[in-house]
Amino acid sequence: MAHEASPAARALLALEAIGNNPGITAQRLGDRLGVTERAARRYVAVLREAELPIESLSGPHGGYRVGRGLRLPPLTFTPAEAMGLVMAVLEGHRSAADPADLVGGALAKILRVLPERVADPVKAVRSQAAEAPVPALVVADPPPVSPELTTRLIEYCTAARRLRLTYRTAAGDREMEVDPWAVVLRHSLWYLLCWSRTRQARRVLRVDRIVSAFPLTATFTPPPDLDALRTLEDHLSQDWDYDVDVVIDASTGQTARWLPRSLGLLEDDGAGRTRLRASTSSPDWYARQLATLPAPFRVLRSPELRKSVTALAHQLLAAVDPPQDA
């Protein structure tokens, strides 16, 4: 502990040390604070004068612990911790984007006390999530990601630092230079939205497949008014094995409330209906998502999807009206 720390800072550190180490003795507390045992006891007295419930444990090995009824002590977050916390909450509790929600109100309190450089990108993520529908696909067992790597990636995005990445693909590891725009948690997976200077194209990279990331001296200017969540959702609906081309008998506004953006791009066909264009790796899975629509739809130039929709329709009809034994 630095000797020039103020008494107020040491008192807060004493509170943190007691909260993290129930039963800590005055001697150990003093060691943590870099002061004598007697001084440590004075800091405990300061906390009690502030009406914080610091309890003393009796016995030969007694020490201090935080009693019940204590409000949360002052918290500090790195940009990565703040972004990760908000994204995780929004992913599991979409209503948290609304400050009137119980969880959303707690989230708003945290955002109000964050430094501006930390709070601004986090608030942007929350406002974007408020407009996004509930995801139709969540990975049950997502692959682990490195907290240290994720932290660095978010910091590089905030600082607009160009990176040299090693990215794992089915064909092997690949080197690339990218301008990192945003790190996004979606459908239980972490993604890096970036511009590949190697390919001169926008890329969405899975963070769990990034082997290494090294910052370069060059910086860049992020796209103005970047909507990271929307850009990611648009990407997730494209470049799969089977084309999707569907007309839905409902307006684009209605359809957008029923389907997540990751299912495809919605276009007005000029007759009050919606044209859904996308691609998928699993026509059977996609057919089940379409089956949730509360409006009629027709599959156009998508033979694999049409086959899956027809098979699913037969299964549903059989379940409703099973054949009778002769």
The model's pLDDT over 25-40, given as tens digits with 9 standing for 90+, comes to 988 998 988 899 999 9
Predicted pLDDT of residue 71: 58
Quick one: pLDDT band at residue 326, thresholds 50, 70, 90? Answer: very low
CATH number of the 7-66 domain: 1.10.10.10
Predicted pLDDT of residue 315: 84
Answer for the pair 205, 157: CB distance below 8 angstroms, yes or no.
no
- Provide, rounded to the nearest whole percent, the portion of the chain with pLDDT above 90: 21
Predicted pLDDT of residue 126: 61
CATH 1.10.10.10 positions along the chain are 7-66
CATH 3.30.70 positions along the chain are 237-320
Q: Within 13 Å of residue 236, how many CA atoms lie on the same side as its CB?
A: 24
Answer for the pair 281, 257: CB distance below 8 angstroms, yes or no.
no
Question: CA–CA distance from 215 to each of 160, 163, 190, 201, 236 (Å)?
Answer: 10, 5, 20, 19, 27
Total-model pTM: 0.53
What's the topology of domain 237-320? Alpha-Beta Plaits (3.30.70)
Q: Indicate the DSSP class of residue 176.
A: E
CATH 2.30.30 positions along the chain are 147-234
Q: What is the Cα Rg of the chain in Å?
A: 27
Mean per-residue pLDDT over the chain, rounded: 79
Predicted pLDDT of residue 134: 44
Q: Which residues of 100-124 are buried (b: 16+ CB within 10 A; e: fewer)?
A: eeebbeebbebbeebeeebbebbeb
Selected residue with higher pLDDT from 128 and 189: 189
Judge whether residue 229 has pLDDT over 80. Answer: no
Q: Which of 111-125, 155-169, 234-248, 251-265 has the highest mean pLDDT?
A: 155-169
Question: Average of pLDDT values for 130-153?
Answer: 63
What's the topology of domain 147-234? SH3 type barrels. (2.30.30)
- The H-or-E segment that residue 191 falls in is strand 189-196
CA distance 254 to 54: 55
Other C-beta atoms lying within 10 Å of the C-beta of residue 256 = 16
